[in-house]
Each structure stands twice: as structure tokens, then as C-alpha cells.
Structure 1
């Protein structure tokens, strides 16, 4: 975002595009990518990216906000932190920033220099340690015997539990056979269903054999309804399907959130 706001949106797009299209992309990364596209004038593509996580009635206002921010209509927002820090502190911040660093190093050095001091104190305890170690010579044998038996028992029972635990946790991880794609995020379930019906009419060859999966997502204090469809054997198959949806004029992203 800083590159786009500083007048170089194309470089920002080059950096953010692979991140936004990656399998681990987050809504924040996609929003930054859409902002860079909007600032560069690619509003159509920015709208498609925003539609993955944002309801349609908020997309235009978001695009206008990005463009106004880049045009300098709202300079206080990006510049306020730097402006208050520079004038208020002036030159002192540089000297103050330099002083804490040296002070921190100075305070760290004494403990290091004092570390050699323990040898004198460690020379004292050996006598006490050996003196105390002599009497309880017989009891440690029993203690170690008890511990050994406990550890032996634990060693026999633990593997059985360890085998069962991965089995129960392996089920969620095996979602590779049911990868999903997201087609839209809307304000209500009825809107999500209507979007599916409309897309099915426009792209029957792609959606006729599929069924919608509408999921709720709580973002901040708002609830969104994510329109998805699944059943893909792998992420590669899901990505190929999304390419066909986008080529037909729709929006689509492999669901990883």
C-alpha cells in the first residue's frame, strides 16, 4: 500500500499480485491488492478482487476511498503519524533513538561481565553438595527404581494413545478431497442464493452439476454469507475451475479461509 500511495502502484501490484493469488492469501492481502489496482486505474479488476470478501454494496465506496486517498483528498490519514512524530520531536527523536540503543547495550554488558563471578560461589557448594550427597545414597536407588517402573508403565500405555490421537486429527487435514471455491460474499443468505441462481443461468456448463454451499463468516461486528461450491479433488482442480469461471465473467477464488 505504501508503494501505491507514494505514486508507484504498478510496483505495488507486482509485489501483491502473487501474494493475493496464492493459496495462503488473507482478506487483508486481497484488500491491499485491490487498493493498488484501484489507484492504478484498474477498477474492474479491483472490483472482482474485492467481491471475494466484500458485499457488492460496499465495493464502490471502497474504490472511491482508495482513489481519493491516492489523489491526496485525505492526506491527514496516511501522513498524520509521520507529521506528528517529526514536528513535535524534531531533531531530538534521532538523538533519543540513538541514546536508548547505546544505553541498552551498556546495561546488557554488565550482566555478561558479571557472569565470571559465579565460579567463586560454585567453588563453595561442592563441599556442601558432596556432604549432602553421601547420606541419601540408599534412598535414590529406590527412587530411581520406582521412577523406572512408572516410566516403563507409561511407555507401554503412551504409544496406544499416541496412535489414536493422530487418527482423530488426520480427518480434518484430509480435506484435500473436498476443496472448495468461493464465488461471492453477500449480506444475507437470500442474496447468496440469488447470486447462485443467477450464476447458474449464466454458466450452466460450469455450475449445472454443482450445488451451492452458503457459509456464514463473522468479520468484526458484521456477518457475511460466503457463496461457495466444493467437491474438487485437489487445489489444482479448484484453481482450474476458477479460471473458467473468471473467463466467463464471474468471480472465483480457491477457499483457504
Structure 2
């Protein structure tokens, strides 16, 4: 790993569906130790950006590096929390086993988790107040509890960069507070966290860095300089008068 390299560096990234650009010529460089939001309207390409970054969909052009390396070489340093709606919650497994999956990058797929691995997974569940549900089938958990389990799985990876696709969607207030507390702790520990986020009111409260996206990258940088009525209006096409309470 290049110690001076940014956790995420995207250059000239273009993604298209059936020749229609969904992301166009994206440049984005995210520094170490920030809690960053990717914000934009529906159809802006926010989730596509996360998936393309992780190699989960093909790109038409451009490059993505994490810590100066392609994702394939940096994957052990990267934790991913997908949209909850994209997960098969009927899969027959319990919360502890889901979190243990986060240790497989360190173990390899053949070696079985050790007692220490199980203790670490339980600790990660406890960080999200889910240790008491370790043996509960994931299909029996509430939406907020399921989301906390997936966050615990990402935590179990001991990653340096976390990519999260709308972690606050469909969760209760208690879970939302637990999530933001965890994310702030990760930032305090020097980790970099990037979240797709849809709520304009909470964005300046929760995040200290932001990327405003609408197919193209409108602006990116520290929240205090980027979060302006002009930038938000450009991102959303001027339809934001009642939504930009936190903009300076």
C-alpha cells in the first residue's frame, strides 16, 4: 500500500446502460479520515458509483484506485454495506454467521473461523447493540436490526475504507443513532467512510465531506465549503428551496 495514496481516487469514470451514460467523466478523490456523503437526486448514479468502484458493474472508461491500487488488490482494506433491499434476508443463517463472513478476507475461504474470530464477531455485534441477537435467524430480525448486522459484518473486516449504500434508509430512530455513532467512531479511528445519502437535512449534521452528483460530479470537498445553495440547486435542478436548511 502507498502510504500517501488517497483511500479512493476515481479518474474519468464513465458508466453506461445500453449506450446511455449513467455516470459521465467522474473525477473524485476522497482524503483519509473523513465521513463523506454522496448526495444527489434519484437517478443521479449514486449507487452505480459505489458498485462501479467495487467492480460490481462494468465501466465504459476511467480508472478507480484504493490506496493507490486497483480494488482487486486492495479488497481486504475495503468494507461494503449494500442497500438492505438488495439482500436475500430469507437465506437460512443467523446474525453471528453473517458477521463472521466479514472475517473471511483475512481467513481465506478454506480455514474455519477460530474462537478469536467468533469473539471478534460478537464484539462487532455488541458495538451495534446486537450481541443478544447473535443466534437469531436474520429473517426474524427487524429492518433496523438487519441493517445493524450488516454494519457489524463490515466492521468485522477491520477495513480502512468503508463504502455504504444508503445505510439509513428504512431504519428506526434508534438504529439511525447507532449507525451514526459507529460511523463517527470509525472516523475518529482514522478510517474513511463514504455513504450514499438521500436526506438533505441531516447531511450537514452527519457528514464532514460531501460529493454532489447528478450523472456528472457537480462539486466535492469539505462540507463547510461545498454545501451551498448554489451547488445544491445545480445538483437538483433548482428544486430544493424547502430542502436546503443546512446550506450556508
- TM-score, normalised by the number of residues in structure 1: 0.25
Structure with the higher helix share, 1 or 2: 1
- Which has the bigger relative contact order, CA under 8 A and spacing at least 6? 2
Larger Rg: 1
Structure with the higher strand share, 1 or 2: 2
- TM-score, normalised by the number of residues in structure 2: 0.26
